[in-house]
Chains A and B, each alone.
Chain A
Amino acid sequence: MFLASLLVALIVPQAKAQVSREYQLKAVFLYNFAQFTQWPTNAFAGPSAPIVIGVLGPNPFGPSLEDTVRGETVDGRPLVVEFYRRAEEIKTCHILFIGQSEIRHMDEILKSIKGKPVLTVADVDNSLTARAIIRFVMENNKIHFRINQDAARAANLVLSSRLLRVADVAPPRKAP
């Protein structure tokens, strides 16, 4: 239900008042990414261990992300949202949303999760976030996302071809 209402919002022109609308959509996208991503089994403590969505930096979603995942399951796993202020605080998480303010700590962030199967999702697309696996792009007032498959492979994650169909699959931009 909420998804439908949010999708309707897709076509609404972007405005300051509707920033939260953008993040409402992005929250749904985060939930959808969980649906199209396959983690290695050792990423979880058990068969019903939750998928943890970590939000680094200030929470841009408000309550919408938690509302989106509440009661939902993906492959029998509940979804849990955790918030981190700094990179050091990152614990075990499966999806890591990197807010706009934290992009400058990219090196540090990547270092802290190096070798762990974490789907990194950057809020914006620039040279810094090119090393993230997914990054959001705004085009014609629409939310798109790009996928860095090398990064996904490096993180030992398998992204569904369906996801790839709707994404802009782009080679990683050179880091500055």
Chain B
Amino acid sequence: MKPRELSIKRKIMTVTMVTTVIVLTVAVAAFMAYDLAAFRESMRRNLGTIAVVTAENCTAALAFGNEKDASETLSYLQPEPQIVSAALYDSTGKLFARYPTNLPPGAFPAKAGTDGYHFAGGHLFLSQSIRSDSKNLVGTLYLESDLRYFYQRVKIYPAIAALIMLGSLIVALVLSNRLQKRISDPIVALAATARQVSERRDYSVRAPRLGPDELGVLTDAFNEMLTRIEQHAITSAFLSAIVESSDDAIIGKDLTGRVVSWNTGAERIFGFTAAEMVGASIERILSRDRPDEERRILENARRGENRLYETVRMTKDGRPVDLSLAVSPIRDAHGVIVGVSSIARDISERKRAEEQILRLNADLEHRVQIRTAELTAANQELEAFTYSVAHDLRAPLRHIDAFTRILQEDFAGSFPPDASKLLETIRRGSENMSRLVNDLLNLAHVGRQEMKHKQTSLNALITEVITELKRETAGRDIEWRVAELPVVEGDPGLLKQVFTNLLSNSVKYTRPRQKAVIEIATRAMNDETVIFVRDNGVGFNMKYADKLFGVFQRLHRAEEFEGTGVGLAIVDRVVKRHGGHIWAESEVDKGATFYFTLAGLDEHAKHPASSRNTPGFGSGRNWK
């Protein structure tokens, strides 16, 4: 048996035995006290009875002064060994008769006492008055009883009590030894289980349940607790494995900033071991140039806030380390904030990469600026060259045109018909060239001109353009479908050029059609509002769509459709200057559609009056 087991058993046994001894002592003492009192009382009563009987028998002897009879009556006391002496006194209180007669009169009280009894010197003394039938006093009886029997009885009591005690204690010992197992066994089993748990940290053991009483309940509760701890230990193991395997530093602090937990990630990042940091203040890793930061972090966490910080901490060897910190409050089971968890990630690498990127970006920017400046300079030179060439070409062209005209008018009759035809060809050529030069100047102008910003009604511009196209459209059947278009902010002159070029193109390329239909409207495409100009003209091959907006790019022969190949380049340039872009869709012989956007068009398009989309014409055709 192990000492701990002994102790509870011994305690129960001790308690049982002490209780038994106390109860027995009290019981025996009470019983003996009662018995002695009762015995004494019975002795007194017995003596009283003897006195009554004796007095009765002595009455007449006293009344008639019959001393012989009185002595004889007293001698009847002989069978009562405890009565050691007796005497009769007459009605005047004088000694009248005595027992035993061999005792001298001096051994008796000289005078009769008053009625009653008293104990003295181990003897019981009794005085009893004697009365006649008519209750007249005739004398007094005196009795002396030896209490030896009483004391004999008192003497044997301790022996009896000791015997009872001994017997009871043996019985109690045997019974308690047997009964205490019922209490101690479950406790001993519970203790053994608890020891096993604490020594081996083995939470899979269970204490045996030995009964349905409170100890059974205790055992169940203990086992239930073990089950919980076991589950908790597994969960804990998982969690700590996760915490330990993390590259991030995971640090637990209390609300005063004292470190409670420190994982291997923290060891790696800061160089302090868990043994060094647990229990120490977090101040060891704070950076001296951020004195108030940790206090603020703790305050935020105390308020229950989860926060992210980017900051700097010091490693054990005094090296600053860039960190991202995720700080959250830790609450206990009652939701009270008891600590703070910090998850710190080393972002030194990222910081370095960021700095590098910033550096590279700055570098790149610088180079782009240089290149742009170079390009702009080149472009300006080119444009200046183009402009000056075009400008310088205009004067010789005017000369060619003017002199050719003079030749035709002044010498019309002197030339052979062939020569007149040649002159005509020269003039047409010079006119073409003149137009080309004008267009080029125009294009250059569009690129160089200062932009105006005015609220411009597109519908008003279009009405103006259609009116100006009257010359070209005279005698033709053209249906204009002009939807309600927004008012936009832009340069009215430039925007007018856009519509002039697009609409004159449409008029030009619908020339083969008996009836031309030209539609100008808006529609929503890819979340933006687009203005489109659609015609049912000859169209073009989409293969060349990317060439449409280049300078001098023509998809049709000049014999078929006249033009300089500069118009759409101008349109492109104006749309771009207005922050938009332009593209076209077509199929050969199936018409063409030019779409373009303008900056701020969406805002205007949201105006209810301008949001209406116009359905496509020619029901069989599928316009994209």
Contact = CB atoms under 8 A, between A and B. Distances in A.
Nearest to B66: A166
Interface residues of A, number: 21
Nearest to B69: A166
Interface string A164-176: 0110000000000
B409 interface: no
Interface in A18-66: 29, 32, 34-36, 38
B72 to A, nearest CB: 10
Contact of A165 (B60, B134, B135): B60
A162 B135 CA distance: 13
A74 B570 CA distance: 173
A38 B69 CA distance: 23
A35 B132 contact: yes
B64 A29 contact: yes
A168 to B, nearest CB: 11
Contacts of A29: 64
Contacts of A34: 134
B61 A166 contact: yes
B91 A165 contact: no
Chain B CB within 10 A, most for which of A36, A38, A75: A36
Nearest to A72: B136
B539 to A, nearest CB: 168
A38 B134 CA distance: 10
Chain A CB within 10 A, most for which of B60, B94, B132: B60
B133 A162 contact: yes
Contacts of B69: 165-166
A35 B136 contact: yes
A61 B322 CA distance: 151
Nearest to A166: B60
A160 B60 CA distance: 9
Contacts of B92: 1, 4
Contacts of A165: 57, 60-61, 69
A34 B135 CA distance: 12
Nearest to A38: B133
Nearest to A75: B134
Nearest to A6: B65
A46 to B, nearest CB: 17
B56 interface: yes
Given A7-B90, A160-B133, A35 B61 contact: no
A154 interface: no
Contact of A74 (B56, B66, B90, B134): B134
A163 interface: yes
A10 interface: yes
B59 interface: yes
A58 B214 CA distance: 106
Contacts of A162: 56-57, 59-60, 63, 132-133
A92 B63 CA distance: 27
A12 interface: no
B281 to A, nearest CB: 113
A36 B60 contact: yes
Contact of B63 (A1, A10, A32, A75): A32
A3 interface: yes
A7 B64 CA distance: 8
A123 B66 CA distance: 19
Contact of B65 (A7, A36, A74, A75): A7
Contacts of B64: 29, 32, 166
Contacts of A72: 136
Interface in B45-91: 56-57, 59-61, 63-66, 69, 90-91
Contacts of A35: 63, 132-134, 136
Contacts of B57: 162, 165
A4 B94 contact: yes
Nearest to A74: B134
A4 B91 contact: yes
Interface in B77-122: 90-92, 94
A171 B135 CA distance: 30
A75 B132 CA distance: 10
Given A35-B133, A166-B66, A4 B90 contact: yes
Contacts of A74: 134, 136
B69 to A, nearest CB: 5
B169 to A, nearest CB: 59
B65 A10 contact: yes
A98 B136 CA distance: 26
Interface string B419-442: 000000000000000000000000
Given A74-B136, A162-B56, A162-B133, A36 B63 contact: yes
A13 B133 CA distance: 31
B232 to A, nearest CB: 101
A35 B138 CA distance: 11
A137 to B, nearest CB: 13
Interface string A75-87: 1000000000000
Contacts of A6: 65
B60 A163 contact: yes
Given A35-B133, A36-B133, A162-B133, A3 B60 contact: no
A74 B90 CA distance: 19
Contact of A3 (B61, B66, B91, B134): B91
Contacts of B66: 166
A117 B63 CA distance: 23
A165 B135 CA distance: 18
Contacts of A10: 65
Chain B CB within 10 A, most for which of A32, A74, A163: A32
11 contacts: A1-B92, A4-B90, A4-B92, A7-B90, A36-B132, A38-B133, A75-B134, A160-B133, A162-B59, A162-B60, A163-B60
Given A4-B91, A32-B132, A162-B56, 6 more contacts: A3-B91, A34-B134, A74-B136, A162-B133, A165-B57, A166-B69
Interface of A: 1, 3-4, 6-7, 10, 29, 32, 34-36, 38, 72-75, 160, 162-163, 165-166
Name the 4 nearest CB pairs between A and B, nearest first: A162-B60, A7-B65, A74-B134, A35-B132
